[in-house]
């Protein structure tokens, strides 16, 4: 992923927009990292046109593959692509601050929140909404994955990984390592073919 070139006053505007975008996304994302992927796509791809759909798909893969929260990983990749190291720092700050404040507030009033029937019912309702949003993310990722040519290998890998995990109970770490090995071998093979 190439970094975007920046000049002068546009830097300050970009930094502010990047911080505010990640702050907003993090503040209004309920349900974990998979939900933020949809919101990042709407904000970064459709609204600001900072990243195209293919790059967003790559960003999602990197964010999910790296250790740590998906929201922070996504903010790191997007921030670096858009504004280098300052973009990383600002986007990570934007992604981390809202949960920090919210968790701090909840911890102070934990007993009251835990025993409150209205909050309990609200959280149950949010779980159903989160399930729908995660399903939408999966369908959007599948649609993006199969849009281009030569994606049959991706379909085979996806189906194989699903079967390996669900049917044969192979751990996600092993599946992940096999996919990395396949990607490296495929890249080396294509590089060798290009030289011929």
Contact 61, 154 (CB under 8 A): no
Q: What is the pLDDT of residue 1?
A: 54
In order along its 196 residues, the chain shows pLDDT tens digits of: 555 555 556 688 889 999 999 999 888 877 666 677 778 888 888 888 888 887 887 887 788 777 888 888 888 888 998 889 999 999 999 999 998 998 888 888 877 777 788 877 887 887 777 777 778 777 877 777 777 655 678 778 888 998 999 999 999 889 989 988 998 998 899 888 887 6
Which residue, 34, 41, 20, is CA-closest to 91? Answer: 20
d(CA 170, CA 187): 25
Q: What is the pLDDT of residue 37?
A: 77
Q: What is the pLDDT of residue 15?
A: 92
Q: What is the pLDDT of residue 85?
A: 92
Q: What is the pLDDT of residue 166?
A: 93
- DSSP 8-state class, residue 41: I
- For 111, phi then psi, to 5°, come to -60, -45
């Amino acid at each position: 992923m190439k970094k975007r070139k920046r000049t002068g006053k546009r830097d300050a505007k970009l930094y502010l927009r990047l911080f505010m975008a990640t702050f907003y996304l993090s503040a209004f994302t309920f349900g974990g990292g998979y939900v933020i992927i949809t919101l990042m796509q709407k904000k970064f791809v459709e609204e600001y046109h900072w990243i195209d759909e293919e790059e967003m798909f790559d960003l999602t893969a990197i964010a999910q593959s790296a250790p740590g929260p998906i929201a922070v990983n996504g903010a790191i990749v997007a921030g670096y692509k858009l504004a280098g190291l300052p973009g990383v720092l600002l986007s990570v700050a934007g992604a981390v601050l809202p949960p920090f404040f919210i968790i701090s507030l909840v911890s102070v009033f934990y007993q009251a929140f835990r025993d409150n029937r209205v909050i309990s019912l609200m959280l149950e309702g949010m779980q159903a909404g989160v399930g729908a949003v995660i399903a939408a993310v999966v369908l959007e990722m599948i649609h993006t994955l199969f849009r281009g040519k030569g994606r049959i290998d991706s379909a085979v890998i996806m189906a194989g990984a699903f079967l390996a995990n669900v049917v044969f109970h192979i751990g996600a770490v092993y599946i992940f390592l096999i996919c990395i090995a396949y990607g490296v071998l495929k890249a080396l093979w294509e590089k060798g073919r290009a030289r011929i």
